[in-house]
């Protein structure tokens, strides 16, 4: 499962109790994905076991409560990443919104409202935008395929949202009230980059990255953006905008893209204070040594190919279990699994 579909995260500065809140995505729109949340819940309650975190169970299944996690949530903040507003993006399940369309929405408004309430978000700083049915029909099941954000920057396609002009204007005004800074919004017109090209190349499924003490941002895109003339025209307009996005880099992710995943599919940002960061187990934090040990597990256990027959082969299942146990040992998680069920529960 993509990390961006694992959970929705709210920063402690946005939550009424001053703790970081997670709601594990139920992924109920897809049978094969809906088996993941139980394992994800266990993992998150192990890593974020300190009292400074609250890990909520997945929402109950059912069409109105469909929830696909951070891929349909954005947090816009000031340049320090502290004060800001939250935006949830949802699809409409009304008959007139889905009849005659190719795809059914994957994120419910009711689910988004439930998460905002559980996390204790301020209604004055929380907004809900409806996905454009044309975007869903084109294959943008998640907002992060047609829109993304980082700090005070919001990048999205013209047809990412429907009936949204008034709400977006309110968001811009509210953002200034809350942060004292201007929201910087890049809206890419359909005439420059069509929805079909945007979804083919995954421009908006890129990562907006910045460094501490540096106001500039880099847009990290899949190589397909570099191969799509209309997308490169959009990139040029972004870089010539004069805003914080000053650089674009490309990465080769063809195998991931063939399975529907660009750079943003790995994005699960967890904003936290330095004290909260120190409460996260050292064993799960990236280091050269941890990376080397994980690479060793991959080299030893991951197959170069996978066939249908292997999926019901007992010996292959044993290899998968062995690989999982090896990863747990590298990350220091094995001994904590049994005791992780009650931490931060709700």
Plot region of 172 (φ>0 → left; ψ -120 to 50 → alpha; else → beta): alpha
Catalytic, out of 56, 73, 119, 142: 142
Report yes or no: 209 and 217 within 8 Å, Cβ to Cβ: yes
CB proximity list for 321: less than 8 A, separation 6 or greater:
none
Beta-bridged to residue 73, according to DSSP, are: 88
Report yes or no: 92 and 104 within 8 Å, Cβ to Cβ: no
68 a catalytic residue? yes
Q: In whole angstroms, what is the distance from residue 94 CA to residue 98 CA?
A: 7
User: What tokens does 46 get?
Assistant: 């192990």
Q: In whole angstroms, what is the distance from residue 236 CA to residue 239 CA?
A: 5
Catalytic, out of 36, 56, 68, 150: 68
What are the start-end ranges of the E strands in the chain? 7-10, 20-24, 53-56, 73-77, 84-90, 126-130, 147-150, 153-157, 184-188, 207-210, 217-222, 245-251
Instruction: Tell me 310's DSSP state.
Output: G
Closest CA to 221 of 255, 250, 193: 250
265 a catalytic residue? yes
158 a catalytic residue? no
Q: In whole angstroms, what is the distance from residue 88 CA to residue 151 CA?
A: 16
Report yes or no: 301 and 319 within 8 Å, Cβ to Cβ: yes
Where in the sequence numbering do the catalytic residues fall? 68, 142, 265
């Amino acid at each position: 499962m993509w990390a961006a579909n694992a959970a929705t995260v709210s920063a402690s500065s946005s939550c009424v109790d001053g703790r970081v809140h997670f709601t594990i995505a139920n992924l109920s729109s897809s049978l094969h994905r809906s088996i993941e949340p139980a394992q994800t819940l266990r993992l998150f309650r192990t890593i974020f076991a300190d009292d400074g975190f609250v890990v909520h169970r997945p929402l109950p299944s059912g069409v109105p409560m469909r929830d696909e996690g951070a891929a349909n949530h954005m947090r816009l903040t000031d340049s320090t990443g502290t004060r800001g507003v939250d935006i949830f993006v949802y699809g409409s399940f009304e008959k007139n919104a889905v009849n005659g369309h190719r795809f059914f929405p994957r994120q419910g408004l009711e689910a988004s409202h439930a998460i905002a309430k559980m996390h204790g978000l301020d209604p004055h700083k929380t907004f809900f935008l409806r996905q454009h049915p044309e975007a869903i029909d084109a294959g943008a099941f998640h907002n992060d395929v047609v829109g993304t954000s980082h700090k005070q920057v919001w990048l999205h396609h013209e047809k990412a949202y429907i009936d949204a002009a008034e709400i977006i204007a309110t968001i811009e005004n509210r953002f200034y009230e809350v942060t004292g800074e201007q929201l910087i919004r890049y809206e890419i017109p359909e005439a420059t980059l069509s929805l079909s090209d945007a979804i083919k190349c995954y421009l908006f499924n890129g990562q907006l990255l910045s460094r501490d003490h540096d106001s500039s941002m880099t847009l990290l895109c899949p190589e397909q953006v570099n191969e799509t003339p209309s997308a490169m025209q959009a990139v040029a307009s972004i870089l010539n905008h004069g805003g914080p996005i000053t650089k674009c880099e490309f990465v080769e992710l063809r195998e991931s893209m063939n399975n529907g995943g660009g750079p943003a599919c790995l994005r699960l940002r967890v904003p936290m204070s330095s004290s909260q960061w120190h409460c996260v187990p050292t064993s799960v934090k990236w280091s050269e040594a941890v990376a080397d040990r994980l690479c060793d597990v991959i080299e030893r256990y991951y197959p170069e190919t996978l066939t249908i027959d292997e999926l019901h082969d007992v010996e292959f299942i044993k290899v998968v279990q062995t690989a999982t146990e090896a990863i747990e040992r590298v990350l220091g998680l094995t001994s904590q699994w049994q005791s992780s069920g009650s931490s931060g529960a709700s």
